[in-house]
């Protein structure tokens, strides 16, 4: 760090510190920068980690539980001393981000909390405190967490909850905050910024890259360990600042590199036989996450794709009889290029299909049945840990060349850390100004009775309009594919009635649906649900409302007042918040809550 940069760090009270955290399915990375630093080159990544034995930008997202000791996280969890079991090592857990993974049968929040708490302590005590010994305590920190774009709002809030429990945005520091950004959005910002930081860097880039210009579309494919996310953007402006808008509704799926690991286990089961499932022989520490076998297989994955004639030999951790037909000799397994191809192809095929789906949306329509988009698709940017796979890159490049018109595939330098670097950049200089909604949003509101669609037995008389209405109805106020501008609210008009004795804090139920043609009925199994979970509620405090100013009606001796309010919804890259307004006064605000789910 230069003297100028050191001085800037010393002025902590004037600025905030931006710390981006990519708590990935397989690997974790962190980048940081002072808010006064506006250049990509001034963003630093953490490269020193406990137990890593060297300088690395990312470390395994793994936990090891050791009797009588605190859980080991990251390099210490996958280190050889625990793999050998010399400390009574039980098992290494990984992939808990994916569901934070219910299959492991442990407390998900606890596991994520254990790992991210160690991460928080390392960031604060071993990195930032040493860089800013005098000013860290008074410097606000914005922790920026990156999450898959395909995640539901519930998963987004679960991430926020786990991070807060671990100390991020809390930890006794009231000046700190947490924000979130989708991983492909962060990757897109880094990729474009690295190519267009200034005109000199553009001139050094290849000609195909420099031809990217306003009006053109590009797909970002963020291929990670567990998930693959895709977002397509249109370039609106390159200079003086980068401005992007989301072109079509993004896509993605659980088809990351860890699914190749699962396929490898199936291949071992096929070659070794039933004994591979004998937990007393093939224990988790011999074949599971963090085992020497899987570490060696990771090397195979990284080198696969250089040519078509690779052969790997893996030492097996359990004595296995020679089997020439299955490539087992002297307790070594021969893994051929064709076998590796059979492990990779199903996963890579799924990824290419996801890219094709995005390309089709851009080429034919706006993804929601609307008009054709202006501008053409020119580029696919491949990032993420799995994005560094040579085989994936070659397969995607082959597909792109056959596309009409042919597309350019870019695999940026530092693609492994592109997400955390881009997350810092988006906070420094927001580039994405318009996003696409990924679901429908609405409220349960009564509607006029229609004998063509409703049963009379379900109707009731509305006291305000003196007509029959149906309560089992959703008013969809924002739809999949709608543009959502940065820092602009989407407004819903909602009304309901209250009585003088019914003025307690209540909730407005926010409903959602991911179906392109959402049903009218609130009770439909296509509503309220991301899986089996309602979308959320907005608390509303009615205690201060002046009822005298509201429309009223007396029915059966009981006075009713009609409340007309506006719900403001703000959708960010990876979160959502809501507020309820009556006139010019806010009567309640909240993030989406799932406490009663």
* Last residue in a domain, options 183, 211, 246: 183
* Last residue in a domain, options 127, 159, 183: 183
Which of 320-334, 345-359, 373-387, 527-541 has the highest average model confidence (pLDDT)? 345-359
Per the structure block, which two tokens stand in for 140? 């606000």
Q: Which has the closest alpha carbon to 73: 50, 54, 46, 99? A: 50
Q: Is 512 contained in some domain?
A: yes
Q: Is 19 contained in some domain?
A: yes
Pairwise CA distance, residues 4 & 492, whole Å: 49
Return the pLDDT at 10: 45
- Dihedral angle of Cα 131, 116, 178, 488, to the nearest 10 degrees: 130
Q: Is 531 contained in some domain?
A: yes
Helices (H) and strands (E) in the chain, counts: 15, 32
Query: What is the count of structural domains for the chain?
Result: 2
Q: Is 414 contained in some domain?
A: no
Q: Is 22 contained in some domain?
A: yes
Average pLDDT estimate for 176-203: 77
Q: Is 85 contained in some domain?
A: yes
Return the pLDDT at 467: 92
Question: Domain holding 89: CATH number?
Answer: 3.30.420.40
pLDDT one-digit tens code per residue, 114-173: 556 778 888 999 899 998 999 999 999 999 999 888 887 777 888 888 888 888 988 789
Return the pLDDT at 497: 82
Pairwise CA distance, residues 48 & 25, whole Å: 20
* Last residue in a domain, options 183, 199, 220: 183
Return the pLDDT at 55: 64
Mean confidence (pLDDT) of the chain:
81
pLDDT at 217 over 90: yes
Return the pLDDT at 351: 98
Tell me the pairing of strands 459-462 and 467-470: antiparallel
Return the pLDDT at 535: 41
Q: Is 555 contained in some domain?
A: yes
Average pLDDT estimate for 15-19: 91
pLDDT at 515 over 60: yes
Element (H, E) at 18: strand 17-23
Query: Which band of pLDDT confidence, cut at 50, 70 and 90, is reported for residue 585?
Result: confident
Query: Which band of pLDDT confidence, cut at 50, 70 and 90, is reported for residue 80?
Result: very low
Q: Is 365 contained in some domain?
A: no
Average pLDDT estimate for 366-384: 74
Average pLDDT estimate for 46-71: 71
Q: How many other C-beta atoms lie within 10 A of the C-beta of residue 368?
A: 15
Query: Which band of pLDDT confidence, cut at 50, 70 and 90, is reported for residue 544?
Result: confident
pLDDT at 400 over 60: yes
pLDDT one-digit tens code per residue, 318-344: 999 999 999 999 999 999 999 999 999
The pTM of the full predicted model, rounded to 2 decimals, is: 0.82
Domain containing 472 equals 440-591
Return the pLDDT at 109: 45
């Amino acid at each position: 760090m230069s003297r100028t940069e050191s001085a800037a760090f010393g002025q902590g009270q004037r600025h905030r510190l931006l710390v981006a955290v990519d708590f990935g399915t397989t690997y974790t990375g962190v980048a940081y920068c002072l808010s006064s630093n506006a250049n990509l080159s001034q963003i630093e990544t953490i490269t020193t980690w406990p137990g890593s034995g060297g300088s690395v930008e990312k470390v395994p997202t793994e936990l090891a539980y050791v009797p009588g000791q605190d859980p080991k996280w990251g390099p210490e969890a996958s280190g050889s001393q625990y793999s050998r079991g010399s400390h009574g090592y039980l098992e290494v857990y990984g992939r808990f981000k994916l569901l934070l993974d219910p299959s492991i049968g442990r407390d998900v929040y606890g596991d994520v909390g254990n790992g991210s708490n160690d991460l928080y302590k390392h960031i604060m005590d071993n990195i930032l405190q040493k860089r800013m010994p005098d000013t860290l305590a008074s410097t606000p920190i914005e922790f920026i967490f990156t999450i898959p774009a395909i995640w539901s709002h519930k998963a987004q809030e679960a991430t926020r909850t786990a991070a807060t429990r671990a100390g991020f945005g809390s930890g006794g520091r009231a000046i700190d905050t947490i924000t979130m950004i989708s991983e492909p959005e962060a990757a897109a910002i880094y990729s474009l910024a690295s190519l267009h930081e200034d005109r000199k860097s553009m001139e050094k880039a290849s000609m195909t890259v420099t031809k990217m210009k306003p009006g053109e579309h590009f797909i970002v494919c963020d291929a990670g360990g567990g998930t693959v996310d895709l977002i397509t953007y249109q370039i609106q402006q390159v200079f003086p600042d980068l401005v992007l808008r989301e072109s079509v509704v993004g896509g993605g799926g659980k088809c990351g590199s860890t699914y190749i690991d699962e396929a490898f286990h199936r291949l071992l089961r096929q070659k070794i036989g039933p004994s591979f499932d004998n937990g007393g022989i093939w224990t988790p520490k011999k074949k599971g996450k963090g085992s020497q076998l899987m570490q060696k297989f990771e090397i195979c994955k990284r080198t696969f794709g250089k040519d078509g004639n690779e052969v790997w030999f893996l030492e097996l951790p359990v004595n296995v009889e020679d089997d020439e037909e299955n490539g087992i000799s002297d307790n070594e397994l021969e893994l051929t290029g064709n076998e590796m191809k059979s492990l990779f192809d199903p996963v890579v095929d799924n990824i290419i299909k996801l890219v094709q789906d995005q390309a089709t949306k851009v080429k034919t329509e706006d993804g929601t049945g609307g008009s054709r988009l202006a501008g053409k698709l020119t580029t696919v940017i491949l990032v993420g840990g799995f994005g560094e796979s040579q085989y994936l890159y070659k397969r995607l490049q082959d597909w792109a060349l056959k596309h009409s018109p042919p597309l350019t595939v870019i695999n940026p330098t530092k693609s492994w850390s592109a997400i955390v670097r881009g997350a810092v950049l988006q906070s420094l200089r927001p580039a994405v100004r318009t996003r696409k909604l990924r679901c429908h949003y609405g409220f349960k509101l009564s509607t006029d009775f229609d004998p063509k669609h409703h049963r009379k037995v379900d109707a009731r008389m509305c006291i305000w309009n003196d007509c029959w209405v149906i309560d089992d109805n959703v008013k969809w106020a924002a739809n999949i594919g709608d543009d959502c501008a940065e820092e602009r609210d989407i407004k819903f008009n909602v009304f309901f009635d209250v009585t003088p004795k019914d003025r307690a804090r209540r909730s407005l139920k926010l409903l959602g649906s991911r179906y392109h043609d959402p049903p009218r009925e609130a009770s439909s199994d296509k509503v309220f649900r991301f899986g089996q979970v309602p979308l959320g509620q907005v608390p509303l405090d009615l205690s201060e409302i002046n009822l005298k100013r509201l429309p009223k009606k007396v029915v059966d001796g009981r006075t009713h007042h009609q409340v007309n309010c506006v719900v403001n919804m703000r959708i960010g890259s990876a979160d959502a918040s809501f507020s309820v307004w009556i006139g010019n006064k806010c009567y309640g605000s909240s993030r989406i809550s799932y406490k009663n789910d």
